[in-house]
Structure 1
Amino acid sequence: MPADPSDARLTSAMLVGVLMRRCAAAGGFATVLVKGDAVSGVILLQALENGREQGLFERVPDYAGGYRLTRCGPDPEKGAEAMAQYLARRRGSDPDLWVVELDIADAERFAAETIC
């Protein structure tokens, strides 16, 4: 019996690829800092605007059957060391995690429009 197409979902690798291409087309910069599980790895975005840290956002399921971005990690004001420690802890507990740096205007909104 063929699979129901309504059950189909994009893999994490596909979502990251789309995000990176769309960001480049819009004049921004995106790079994979940590490559996670290609099929179902959690996607964590390190958002920047003109090189200035805006925070971390995680793609999480919502209660309506879709996805949303939620802020996570330390406040950007705490500095690079706090961010590095948080990412190391997350990678230690979830080796399938993707970490993508996204440098574009209003990165949170941009990413939400693309992968949620």
Structure 2
Amino acid sequence: MIEPRLSSEFFITALLKKVNQEGGFGAVIRKGDRISGSILVICVEKGENPRLLEKMPMLDGSSMWQKIWPQDIEKQQNLDEYLARRTKFDPDIWLIELDIPDAERLIAEMGQ
């Protein structure tokens, strides 16, 4: 049986409201599929130190937010190039940017 889950658009709306309530800034950079589009989140602090998170499915059926960029030094590439390749591969993907301290914690709390 498939477990019910929030639509991508609903989750993003709630996340942006939470970021705003905590004094940060969040913006939708690219809209994806309203119901089931994958979500990529660029986390920055005062516009610096970008990290890219994605909700990844686990073997037990749950999901977990994982940092997917920056990668290891040998594999590291420009973030813009990576995002262009991902959106070309998956046109239904959402891209969100959050500028708030400890964005990873906030996203993890929202995902529970």
Say if 2:45 is the partner of 1:49.
yes
For 2:54 and 2:102, the matched residues in 1 are separated by: 15
Structure 2 residue 11 is matched with structure 1 residue 15: yes
TM-score calculated relative to the size of structure 1: 0.83
Which residue of structure 2 aligns with residue 71 of structure 1? 67
Larger Cα-atom Rg: 1
Tell me the SS of whatever aligns to 1:69: strand
17, 22, 25: which one aligns with 2:21? 25
In structure 2, give the amino acid aligned to 1:16: I
Q: Percent identity?
A: 38
The equivalent residue for 2:92 is: 96
Match of 1:82 among 78, 82, 104: 78
Aligned-partner Cα distance in 2 for 1:25–1:107:
13
CA RMSD across the alignment: 2.1
Q: CA deviation at 1:104?
A: 0.7
Tell me, in whole angstroms, the C-alpha distance in 1 between the residues paired with 2:41 and 2:102. 13
Letter in 2 for 1:39: I
How far 1:73 sits from its partner (Å)? Answer: 3.1
TM-score normalised according to structure 2 size: 0.86
Q: Which runs of 5+ in 1 are unaligned?
A: none
> Post-superposition shift, 1:109?
1.3
Q: Supply the distance in 1 between the matched residues of 2:41 and 2:99 (Cα, whole angstroms).
A: 10
Greater mean alpha carbon deviation, residues 19-28 or residues 106-115: 106-115
Any runs of at least 4 consecutive aligned residues in structure 1 with deviations exceeding 3 A, and if so which? none
